[in-house]
Amino acid sequence: MTALSVRGVDKSFGSVRALDDVSFDVERGSTAALLGPSGCGKTTLLRIIAGFERPDHGSVSVDDELVTASGIWKRPERRSIGYVSQEGALFPHLTVAGNIEFALTRPERRDGTRVAELLALVSLDPSQLTRFPHQLSGGQQQRVALARAMARRPGLMLLDEPFAALDASLRADTRDLMAAALAAEKVTTVLVTHDQEEALSFADHVVVLRDGRVRQSGGPREVYERPVDAWTAAFVGDAVLVPARLQQGRAYTALGVVPFTGGEPDGEGTVLLRPEQLDLTQFTGAVGSEDAIIGDVVAFSYRGHDTLASVTLHDQPEVTVACRIPGNAGWLSTGTRVAIRVLGGAVVVPDGDG
Amino acid sequence: MGGAPPVLVVLAVAVALVSLVPLGFVLFSVVDAGPQRAWALIVRPRVGALLLNTGLLTALTMLCSAALGTVCAFLVERTTLPGARLWAPLLVAPLAVPAFVTSYGWVSVLPGIDGLGGATLIMTLAYFPLVYLPVGTALRQLDPAWEEQARSLGQSATRAFVTVTLPQLRPALLGGTLLVGLHTLSEFGAFQALKFSTFTTAIYEQFQSTFASAAGNMLAVVLVLCCLVLVSAEYGFGRRHIARTGSGSPRTQTPVRLGRWSVPAVTGLVTVVGAALGVPLSSVVYWLGVGGSTVWTSGVVSATVSTVQLGLAAALVTTVLAFPVSYLVVRHRRLFTVVAERVSYVAAAVPSLVVGLALVTVTVHYVKPIYQTYATLLIGYLLLFLPRAMVPIRTGLAQSRRELEEASRALGQSRTATLRRVTLPLAAPGIASAAALVFLAATTELTSTLMLGPTGLRTLATRFWSLTGSIDYVAAAPYAALMIAVSAPVTYLLLQQSRRVAGR
């Protein structure tokens, strides 16, 4: 059953086309991410779903009920949709308790059990109830905002980059905590983000948006491993795109012969490899003495959990590829000669921006 | 999110239309007199002399206020001046003393003071805080990184101030100086004791002798043109947006060490505060001492009561009617809301004397039942004080960001419930300070009260004016004292407002 269905949504601001024929569905109880660079229209889309903006064309259904369509308009307060914005939008004149209780009825407020439940759900201490928003950390504010949005038990929760304003250290913790809270209440969730790692780890379903259009819609693995075009490939992760000659399921590239999936016809094309598929070993032999792909490290950045190196191929100096080596790879520095081995298969992607 | 609430739109349009009455009156009176007669009435030696007087006074006052206000602001905000915290309120406080009380104070001390020099001195002392406040705020807000950057690029401290800091003060400096100009152009009460003729005094004389005559109306036309020239000059030169690059709060600045300049600086400020505040206050105290307890008559009590009542009514009416426009401009920014807002700003640049003249003429001819009633007087106050109320209301509304209202809608609250539970509570401090500012302005408003009020209305300002007109300085003293006492909180409100604007 679909909890949210967006069909053919267009929206322009003046001459700027913010959304262009956007359609996608989200299954009940699942988690979707709208992923795209800033300015791609993802926040506009979220605001249309919430009922803060009207699209020029197209429709939105929540739980199979049309809430936005031509001639149909359900006010935001009548939609059973929770909304958490980038900075939480806690009411500064109300305490934490006042914020969480904001949407509760008088008897519910007096009873107090719902507030206690919500606090427990987002792991906040009851001692925080009397504080004002400015006395909370960013992570706490976002948790209060989520508790407030959950108070009326919405069927659908919209999160507009709710972790973007948080410190890196806090971001992952807050994200996991909110994901757990939403899962516990079985709320269908749509997350807007420009952070591919966040989208891939948070969502069951990723919708990639660019310039107001849906580029790709699918599971996180599908989007990462089988992107529909070169732009999407590079946007959802570091990408190594190399030209190839395709012949009978094998791609002949500067990095050697690599099997590919997809069954494209023979001919010229571009294949995608991820940097973690390129295994480097230090090469000490003479060039040409072994049947290996040889390259020279031209730059590298040590990032703690792994090392990212740029390697220029010896035989084709115009080709430079990115390689990810787990660990600190202490043997590696600029100028190190390496042998490159491709792990796994490649994916054929259409050229350019599509 | 949806359209603007229709009730607010209707009110905003109505207020904007009423705001246009004074300008409409000015246009109409030119048409009514006919182009030839109008030309003959405007191009004559009398008008030339008035234009010279008024123009010189306005230009000199603007120049002196700009210099004095900027120097004071620099000393207080950017140097190691002893007691800087104390100076800020003292330099704003002259705004709590109505200009006609300042003039009364100076004439009491120096009976010979008159003419252009005297008028410039008194106008500058009464209005330089209008420059001091915004320039001080701007200086406080400036990111020291810019000046440091200039220094690291090889400029001296003075050169860095001139090339980097001063240009950024321009909007504040021009805005404040414009306000001084508008206040000087519309000042009326202060010139009585100074025996100095300007457009306002001439228009008032005409009004008293021949009511709304074509000759008086043409003087009003010239005066309004002067005001509009000032407003458009500021609009043309002053509104350059200064973008702040980067985010985060600027660091506090390192103050300039005054060293041996401390003594002259303090002496200078003592002189300024003494002249602007000390002279009028001590004159009032002196005359009160001379009069003893006999001056506190029942007339003082009844004038106080009617002043307070009128001030409260004006505060209520103006704040309530300023809300729709302010709300629409902040939340539903469309062409017509912006126009409605601009209209009320331009309309408020029209001197209170002309507003009075316009409302008298319109009510006499078209709405006789409200001629010389409280209704007309309150409309006059509304037109004069609308922008004063709109600024703090807008600041207050800006506290309630759109996301907060949307959050409330997403939490199931209707538009009305959101207004009641989120928007209004957050804007409440701004609305309260708007009401207070209007109340204070209305309690010392002289010109429009004289012209529009019902016969027999006696307020602190009108009583003070008629008593000083007959040189009864002793009897006038309690009225002056009460006006200053009532206006004193304005100092605090204006300081607070400037800090809030700075916080944005």
Query: A120 or B495: which carries more pLDDT confidence?
Result: A120
pLDDT of residue B232: 82
B416 touches chain A (CB under 8 A): no
> Residues A273-294: what's their mean pLDDT?
83
With contacts defined as CB-CB under 8 Å, which chain B residues touch A85?
A: 403, 406-407
Q: Of residues A43 and B164, which shows the higher confidence score?
A: A43
SS3 content of chain A, % helix, strand, coil (to 5): 25, 40, 35
Q: How far is CA A330 from the centre of its chain?
A: 32
8 Å CB contact of B1 and A52:
yes
Give me B441's structure tokens: 């302005």
Chain B residue at shortest CA distance from A102: B411
User: Do residues B444 and B247 touch, judged by C-beta distance below 8 A?
Assistant: no
d(CA B422, nearest CA chain A) in Å: 7
CB-based contact A85 B1, cutoff 8 Å: no
Contact (CB, 8 A) for B442 and B450 = no
| CA atoms of B206 and B353, how far apart (whole Å) | 12
Instruction: Write down the pLDDT at residue B492.
Output: 82
Is B432's Cβ below 8 Å from some Cβ in A? Answer: no
Instruction: Give how far the C-alpha of residue A30 lies from the chain's centroid of Cα atoms, to the nearest Å.
Output: 15
Asked if B421's CB is within 8 angstroms of A75's CB, the reply is no
- Chain B CB contacts of A53 below 8 Å: 1
- Kindly report the average pLDDT of chain A as a whole number: 89
Residue ranges of chain B whose pLDDT lies below 70: 1-3, 212, 236-253, 500-504
What is the ipTM, given to two decimal places? 0.77
Q: What is the DSSP letter of B310?
A: H
How much is the pLDDT for B245?
46
Beta-ladder partners of A133: none
Q: With 0-12 CB in 10 A as exposed, 13-18 as middle and 19+ as buried, what is B141?
A: middle
B398 touches chain A (CB under 8 A): no
Tell me, yes or no, if B248 comes closer than 8 A to chain A by beta carbon.
no
CB of B404 within 8 Å of a chain A CB? The answer is: yes
Q: What is the pLDDT of residue B244?
A: 46
Q: What is the CB-side half-sphere exposure of residue A51 using CA atoms within 13 A?
A: 29
User: Average pLDDT, stretch A124-138?
Assistant: 91
CB atoms within 10 A of CB A234: 15
Dist. CA B179–CA B131, nearest whole Å: 8
Minimum-distance CB partner of A76 among B1, B401, B421: B1
A202-255 residue pLDDT tens: 999 999 999 999 999 999 999 998 899 889 999 998 899 988 999 888 899 988
How much is the average pLDDT of A293-318? 89
Distance between CA atoms of B14 and B9, rounded to whole angstroms?
9
Q: What is the pLDDT of residue B411?
A: 92
pLDDT for residue B308: 92
Whole-angstrom CA distances from B257 to B154, B166, B260, B265 are 20, 19, 9, 12
CB contact under 8 A, A91 and B422: yes
| pLDDT of A84 strictly over 70 | yes
What DSSP line would sit under B464-487, residue for residue?
A: HHHHHHTT-HHHHHHHHHHHHHHH
Query: Which two tokens mark B383?
Result: 């037109």
Nearest to B404 among A77, A91, A152 (CB): A91
Q: What is the C-alpha separation between B168 and B366, in angstroms, rounded?
A: 49
Which residues does chain A have within 8 Å of residue B426's beta carbon, measured at their own beta carbons? 91-93
- CB-CB under 8 Å, A149 with B411: yes
B425 close contact with A: CB closer than 8 A: yes
Is B408's CB within 8 Å of A91's CB? yes
pTM score, whole prediction: 0.76
Residue A55 has pLDDT above 80, yes or no: yes
